[in-house]
Chains A and B, each alone.
Chain A
């Protein structure tokens, strides 16, 4: 069987593959509502970006860093949600060290958020400079990127932990709930905070 080489064993008999298209109605009843929620979240996030034109002119390299910051938030918190989901499945959230397990996981996510936002700002600045364009104020770019990265990381880590704990206590599988919620609010939170810090840094004059 197929999974022997990958996982070191066979899938048990009775393993069920997804139904074949187009009979698989679950694809439309289960995937489509979440996709539409994501579309709504993305559209709200976009309206924040469309309102940022003035600050984007004040710190020109900020637009270069924006895709990296959005993607980092999704990846770092997606991994956090996946780990906490696994922790729930392993029974760690019912044990007496559950607070410490959560602290370790959140601390790792925040460390990565801060460090990688700085990497994104550095790369954004250097590539813009190398292309012969004006990247604007490097300190502003770094401060705004890291501040937005860290605060959005903190806020979304809070959302992730709360979602996992509430789902776990209500007997829902956190693995099924965390990703769609993060996918919907992640981009909005990240871009709104990027906008807020950029406006504060440029003194609201932009």
Chain B
């Protein structure tokens, strides 16, 4: 007998994944509804996977830090406390990473021949969308960690799937909302 059993793993993960697919489908519909925007400006399609991947990773790092502080008793279980401890760290990571990502995406868009005539269009939209995603997910991470901690649920099991899934939908919404307003 093996210790791991494929049927048990599938049974535990399947319900969670169905919820994940349902939420991601909402993001997919927002993407589809933005078709006129990304047909005209294909660099928006180029930008969305990276914006989401970076946002999800920053939020995962912050979540892990907040939950470690809760477990070691360094942090009182208040949302303000969680934000004060790690909010600035998230902001710095977001500033640096999205700043560099914006230039990387600009270089890539030009190389693929889909770059904007005014480079500031791409730089500003990627940077503003990425940074607001970081701020939003930092708040979501602190709220989710503190709420699950207060209910006696280990936040390590819950917070990362919550922030990454929220981040995928929010990242698409923010990118195309800012693109619609600014461009």
The interface of chain A, by Cβ under 8 A from chain B, is 1-3, 5-7, 11, 15-18, 20-22, 24, 27-28, 31-32, 34-36, 38-43, 45-47, 49-51, 53, 60-61, 63-68, 70-72, 74-76, 79, 83, 87, 90, 92, 97, 100-101, 104-105, 107-109, 111-112, 115-116, 119-120, 123-124, 127-128, 131, 133, 183, 187, 191
Contact = CB atoms under 8 A, between A and B. Distances in A.
Nearest to B35: A63
Contacts of B2: 97, 100-101, 104
Given A17-B68, A68-B24, A68-B25, A112 B50 contact: no
Interface in B158-183: 161, 164-165, 168-169, 172
Given A63-B28, A108-B6, A108-B10, A18 B88 contact: no
A187 to B, nearest CB: 5
B72 A116 contact: no
Nearest to B172: A67
Interface in B1-52: 2-7, 9-10, 13-14, 17-18, 20-22, 24-25, 27-29, 31-32, 35, 39, 42-43, 45-52
A183 B75 CA distance: 29
A11 to B, nearest CB: 6
Given A3-B72, A35-B97, 19 more contacts: A2-B71, A11-B73, A18-B68, A21-B86, A34-B57, A35-B61, A39-B50, A39-B101, A39-B104, A42-B53, A46-B49, A50-B46, A66-B31, A70-B49, A71-B24, A71-B164, A100-B2, A101-B2, A112-B13
